[in-house]
Amino acid sequence: MLDQPAFDPKMFLATVNRRHTVSDLRRDEIVFQQEAAADAVFYIQKGKIKIVVTSKQGKEAVIAWYASNDDVVRRRPERLWSNVVEFLEFPTVVYRVQPAGELALEWPADWPRVVDGLGCWVFEIPDFDANNIVVKPTLWQEEAGQAGSLVRRGVSNLFRQYVLRRARAKGLVQREDNSAYFPFGLLEKNKVKYVGRREKATTKIMAMERSFRVGNDRRDHFWALQAFQPRVDLRSILGRPSVRFSLELFLTQPGGAALDDKKAHRLRRRLCKRWYNAEWLDRLLALVSFLADGNESVNLAAGPTARIVLGGRPFGLEAPHGINEAALGSEVVVDLDDLGDDEEVTA
């Protein structure tokens, strides 16, 4: 397939029907400032624009230049990824199960359920004696009003429980905040094998040992463990329930004891300062592939008959135009964190 001509902003501005404005700017005049409304696209017709960051101490650093002759946009399709994974198959009925008599039900270990008084909301009913239970089915997508809101809150909880149950089954450790992380030593060389964003087989390290300087040429070591929180959306734009994977790093001492929040936050910022979108996307692809055993999907159901199928890749779209990364030039990293000189994270 032949490449189409590069995107021509002059032709676009001459033919576009939407309103546009041409501005002549003075030297050092601000074009756009962080936290301003992102309600416009800027095309440089003549001259150059510099991108500046400012530290807390007021120091400025130029991190990039853009010129009118930079061919930043090219007419070539580009994959746009999200951190959302769809449920490809899911139950439309949720059941409220409670004992028919006074005796409590003995639920199987690790069976996803949401407690509601004497009963529990479930997608799957264990092999209970039918004479010992009272079952109320509900079409959770159709339930209206406050009752419907309560039911869907329970359903969202159930979907999250299934995802975390799968993570635990794969060896991840669940924390009290409903996040899960890769323990050090779970995998050979702590690496996950997966198919990357360029559709090639690769690996990603999900648990790392790092160190920082504590003075007198001594170093203190810590573990950086890949973690995630599943956040369920029942009414996503995808038209079906989905899970948003919020990625984070869980920092611990060697052995697994968590670092205190202040130290962990400082080290996490320093460790991840060069982790751009591509790095986080690679980690997301590795995580989702790991949960799905490298397959296109995985059934999360606890029993043998239900279908609660999660996709094996994040949702994405094909954009007709892409970004010419080469035209952006090499990245310039400016460290503006006020961390002091007594700590240094090393690879």
Per-residue pLDDT of 150-181, as tens digits, reads 999 999 999 999 999 999 999 999 999 999 99
So what's the pLDDT on residue 71? 62
What is the rounded distance in angstroms from the CA atom of residue 312 to the CA atom of residue 295?
6
Per-residue pLDDT of 20-60, as tens digits, reads 778 888 887 888 887 677 777 777 777 778 887 776 656 66
So what's the pLDDT on residue 122? 97
Q: Which residues contact 219 (CB under 8 A, 6 or more apart)?
A: 211, 212, 213, 346
Residue 183 near residue 201 (C-beta atoms within 8 A): no
What is the rounded distance in angstroms from the CA atom of residue 154 to the CA atom of residue 160?
10
Residue type, 199: E
What is the rounded distance in angstroms from the CA atom of residue 113 to the CA atom of residue 104?
15
Query: 232 — alpha (psi -120 to 50), left (phi > 0) or beta?
Result: beta
Residue type, 266: R
So what's the pLDDT on residue 276? 80
Tell me the whole-structure pTM to 2 decimals: 0.76
DSSP 128: -
Q: How many CB atoms lie within 10 A of CB 156?
A: 17
Q: Which parts of the chain register pLDDT below 50?
A: 1, 331-347
So what's the pLDDT on residue 26? 83
So what's the pLDDT on residue 172? 98
Per-residue pLDDT of 192-217, as tens digits, reads 999 998 899 999 999 999 988 777 77
So what's the pLDDT on residue 341? 33
Nearest to 77 by CA among 134, 1, 166, 180: 1
